[in-house]
Amino acid sequence: MPKKSSPKNIDPRVKRTRRLLRDALVSLILKKDFASITIREVTERAEVAYITFYRHYESLDQLLMEVLDEGLTELMIHIETLAKQSDTSALETEGRLIFEYIEQKADLFRILLKSQSVTRIRKKVVSNISAIFQKSCVPLERLGNQVTINMASNHIATSLLSLIEWWLENNMKPSPIE
């Protein structure tokens, strides 16, 4: 069973190998369905030995979950940072910045939204975005009632995720600046 170390204690070679495996999986998922991808294909694409895969992961599912969780974590950190800076006049700027970030990571977000775990991912993203907006968004605090704040933040999060999906399906048109 692969060992889990704290990120600070991980050998740079281990980080590099894991990154190569994650990148290989992402590039393969963009070409074909996850269910048809083999460990052999991932290791060949990553240019690492087959046995090396098992030193880091127990299965392709575990590797996929790491890729998805990493992407979600990055998005949540980005959104939380923007939400902390929020006021009503900055909402347009924040929206543009979120979509510019997603544009930079478009392949990852396409995978996130088309993976077999999309329901779990959708719930996690909506829950995290909603919680961030509840804590950090000044305009929501003005609603006063906690049920109304919960409902509004969930609506914002769900709408944002649906908009991201639509935008990716439409080749990221219009651009974030437009």
Are the CB atoms for 125 and 75 separated by under 8 Å? Answer: yes
- On whether both 98 and 39 belong to a single domain, the answer is no
Using a CB cutoff of 8 Å and minimum separation of 24, what contacts does 33-42 make? 34/60, 34/64, 34/115, 34/116, 35/116
In a domain, 83, yes or no: yes
In a domain, 133, yes or no: yes
Whole-model pTM? 0.64
- On whether both 124 and 163 belong to a single domain, the answer is yes
- On whether both 96 and 147 belong to a single domain, the answer is yes
Mean pLDDT of the chain: 80
- On whether both 159 and 100 belong to a single domain, the answer is yes
Q: Which domain holds residue 27?
A: 7-58
- On whether both 42 and 83 belong to a single domain, the answer is no
What digits encode the pLDDT tens for the residues 2-51? 555 455 678 899 999 999 999 999 899 888 888 889 999 999 999 999 99
- On whether both 115 and 47 belong to a single domain, the answer is no
